[in-house]
A and B are shown apart, each in its own frame.
Chain A
């Protein structure tokens, strides 16, 4: 009945979202992503943001190596009401494996956040945790740190809200090891613009 977070707001399904695109209400250049049924406007791409995205893509490509590919600002499918476009995500296989459908379960998602920090920690973290994304990083441009979110969980008696049980904040001189490629360390300094 009443929705807990934004009471009353219509939640779009992926099917409806697809029809919006087909009928020209949205096009590929629109800075919009479907997250939990909301058509979210994405954080503006100022140059530090863009630089960080490129740095992250390069660093994680090196860390994961063969058998993985890295996509930037491209759609993934989480569930019936979420088709977000994370800044960077690492997916198993090769790009050709996803000709017919977007990837669904990236091994790592990275968001670069400045003005969108609250959303990256709040709504996006909740949606990613609900989709059991086990490794979610936020490159926090405000504090120049990397936030590593792990252990998706739904605690509390009501068990209604998803989130991450473990959040580590790493400074520039630290090194992070992706869960799915633990032998390769990534220096946080290499991710920061």
Chain B
């Protein structure tokens, strides 16, 4: 790294060791940046003030503002099919919410594709539900975020039953048993992960009498 005494008197050219010119840069994502976090109270106020563009699909996950996956036709279809199937599986006494906000914790207000919550719509006229009995994310390009990022926040909040409907591999990933794990994005993860193919059957923890074939959910 030191320049030689015999180098050109004004500018010393030194072998590059760490700073690399642009054509040798792989991706610039390796520098994990620290960004400003927002609390749920701040986030609610930002929405109230209309800071974001209307219709911008934003959700607050662990203090970070995330942009939801764009809704392609398969994603929308899967969400609708899942909502219908779960309404039947859970029956009366439950509400199936599609892309509605969940008041998860002090720095998270996600809008999962599907959340099944106890009671009727009027029970949440003053505050968003906070503990869905079943949470489902439909994932195409957002697979990694849904598994590790949201999965860690949902595990931290103690959500017992989390499903990722993986449209890439056409399987249902069922996550259960939240456990603390320092290595996880938000300090928690799910200890159990089951991958069910289209022909397999799944039973929500909170609707033990029901049985859903995975193909009923897939677009």
A residues at B contact (CB < 8 Å): 1-2, 4-11, 16, 19-20, 23, 25-26, 30, 32, 38-41, 118-119, 121-123, 126, 129, 138, 140, 143, 145, 147, 149, 153-156, 161-171, 173-177, 185
Contact = CB atoms under 8 A, between A and B. Distances in A.
Contact of A175 (B1, B10, B14, B16): B10
A165 B21 contact: yes
A40 B142 CA distance: 23
B21 A164 contact: yes
Interface of B: 1-3, 7, 9-23, 25, 27-31, 33-36, 38, 42, 45-46, 49, 51-52, 58, 64-67, 69-70, 141-142, 144-145, 149
Q: What DSSP secondary structure best describes chain A's contact surface?
A: mixed
Contacts of B23: 153, 155-156, 163, 165
A169 B21 contact: no
Interface-centre pick from B20, B28, B29, B144 (highest chain A CB count, 10 A): B28
A167 B34 contact: no
Given A25-B46, A145-B1, A161-B22, A176 B11 contact: yes
Contacts, number: 140
A22 to B, nearest CB: 9
Contact of B19 (A11, A126, A153, A167): A167
A122 B18 CA distance: 12
A41 B7 CA distance: 39
A9 B28 contact: no
B40 to A, nearest CB: 14
A134 to B, nearest CB: 14
B66 A167 contact: no
Q: Which 8 A-B pairs have the closest CB atoms?
A: A163-B22, A39-B36, A10-B65, A118-B31, A174-B12, A122-B28, A171-B3, A41-B34
A16 B52 contact: yes
B11 A9 contact: no
A175 B33 contact: no
Contacts of B52: 16
Contact of A161 (B28, B36, B144): B28
Contact of A121 (B14, B19, B66): B19
6 contacts: A10-B67, A30-B36, A119-B33, A138-B19, A163-B22, A169-B16
